[in-house]
Chains A and B, each alone.
Chain A
Amino acid sequence: MDLFEYQGKQYFAKYNIPVSAGGVALTVDEAVAEAEKAQYPVVVKAQVQVGGRGKAGGIKLATNADEVRLHAGNILGMDIKGHVVKRVWIEHASDIAEEYYASFTLDRAAKQHLLMLSAQGGVDIEDVAAKDPTAIVKLHINPINGLSLATARQASVDAKIPEKALNGVADMLVRLYECFTKGDCDLAEINPLILKPTGEVHALDAKVSLDSNAAFRHPEWEEYAATEELDAREQLAREKDLQYIGLDGTVGIIANGAGLAMSTLDVVNQVGGSAANFLDIGGGANAELMTAALEVINSDAKVKSILINIFGGITRGEEVAKGIVEAVKRVSLRAPIVIRLDGTNAEEGRKILAEAGIPDSQLTSRPTMLEAARAAVALAK
Chain B
Amino acid sequence: MAIFVDQNTKVIVQGLTGGQGRFHGLRNKAYGTQVVGGVTPGKAGQDVEGIPVFDSVEDAVKATGATASFIAVPPKAAPAAILEAARAGIGFVVCITEGIPAQDEARVYATLQRDFPATRLLGPNCPGIISPGKCNIGITAGEIAQLPTASGPNVGIVSRSGTLTYQALYELKQQGIGVSTCVGIGGDPVPGTSFVDCLAEFQTDPETHAIIMIGEIGGSAEEEAAEFITNHVTKPMSAYIAGVTAPAGKKMGHAGAIVSGGKGTAQGKMDALRMAGVKIGLNPTEAGSLMAEIVNNLH
Name A residues whose Cβ lies closer than 8 Å to a Cβ of B. Answer: 106, 108-109, 111-113, 126, 142-144, 181, 184, 186, 211, 213-214, 216-217, 243, 245, 247, 255-263, 265-270, 275, 278, 280, 283, 311, 313-314, 342-344, 368-370
**Chain B residues whose CB sits within 8 angstroms of the CB of A181 once the complex forms:** 103
User: Known: A213-B75, A370-B285. Is A343-B187 also a contact (CB below 8 A)?
Assistant: no
Number of inter-chain CB pairs below 8 Å: 166
Expressed in whole angstroms, the Cα–Cα distance for A48 and B250 within the complex equals 16
Whether A259 contacts B161 by the Cβ 8 Å rule is: yes
A173 → B minimal CB distance (Å): 17
Whether A106 contacts B283 by the Cβ 8 Å rule is: no
**Chain A residues whose CB sits within 8 angstroms of the CB of B103 once the complex forms:** 106, 143, 181, 184, 211, 214
Expressed in whole angstroms, the Cα–Cα distance for A256 and B163 within the complex equals 7
User: Is B219 engaged at the interface, CB distance under 8 Å to the other chain?
Assistant: yes
A341 → B minimal CB distance (Å): 12
Expressed in whole angstroms, the Cα–Cα distance for A6 and B197 within the complex equals 43
**Chain B residues whose CB sits within 8 angstroms of the CB of A275 once the complex forms:** 245
**Chain B residues whose CB sits within 8 angstroms of the CB of A113 once the complex forms:** 106
Expressed in whole angstroms, the Cα–Cα distance for A342 and B284 within the complex equals 13
- Per-position 1/0 for B185-209, Cβ under 8 A of A: 0010110000000000000000000
**Chain A residues whose CB sits within 8 angstroms of the CB of B111 once the complex forms:** 144
**Chain B residues whose CB sits within 8 angstroms of the CB of A263 once the complex forms:** 164, 167, 240, 242, 283-284
Expressed in whole angstroms, the Cα–Cα distance for A197 and B285 within the complex equals 63
Expressed in whole angstroms, the Cα–Cα distance for A112 and B105 within the complex equals 10
- Per-position 1/0 for B88-118, Cβ under 8 A of A: 0000000000011111101101110010000
User: Is B27 engaged at the interface, CB distance under 8 Å to the other chain?
Assistant: yes
User: Known: A262-B253, A263-B283, A368-B285. Is A311-B245 also a contact (CB below 8 A)?
Assistant: no
Whether B110 contacts A259 by the Cβ 8 Å rule is: no
**Chain B residues whose CB sits within 8 angstroms of the CB of A216 once the complex forms:** 75-76
Expressed in whole angstroms, the Cα–Cα distance for A265 and B253 within the complex equals 13
Name B residues whose Cβ lies closer than 8 Å to a Cβ of A. Answer: 27, 75-76, 99-104, 106-107, 109-111, 114, 139-141, 143-144, 159-167, 170, 187, 189-190, 214, 216-221, 224, 240, 242-247, 250, 252-257, 261, 266, 282-285
Residue among B76, B104, B106, B255 having the largest count of chain A Cβ atoms under 10 Å:
B106
**Chain A residues whose CB sits within 8 angstroms of the CB of B170 once the complex forms:** 311, 342-343
Whether A144 contacts B107 by the Cβ 8 Å rule is: yes
The 3 closest A-B pairs by CB, nearest first: A259-B161, A258-B253, A257-B163
Residue among A112, A259, A314, A368 having the largest count of chain B Cβ atoms under 10 Å:
A259
Closest residue on chain A to residue B115 by CB atoms: A144
Whether A311 contacts B167 by the Cβ 8 Å rule is: yes
User: Known: A216-B76, A313-B141. Is A259-B106 also a contact (CB below 8 A)?
Assistant: no
In the assembled complex, 13 residue pairs joining A and B whose CB atoms fall closer than 8 Å, in A order, are A213-B102, A214-B102, A216-B75, A257-B164, A258-B257, A259-B160, A259-B164, A261-B253, A262-B257, A266-B282, A269-B244, A275-B245, A369-B284
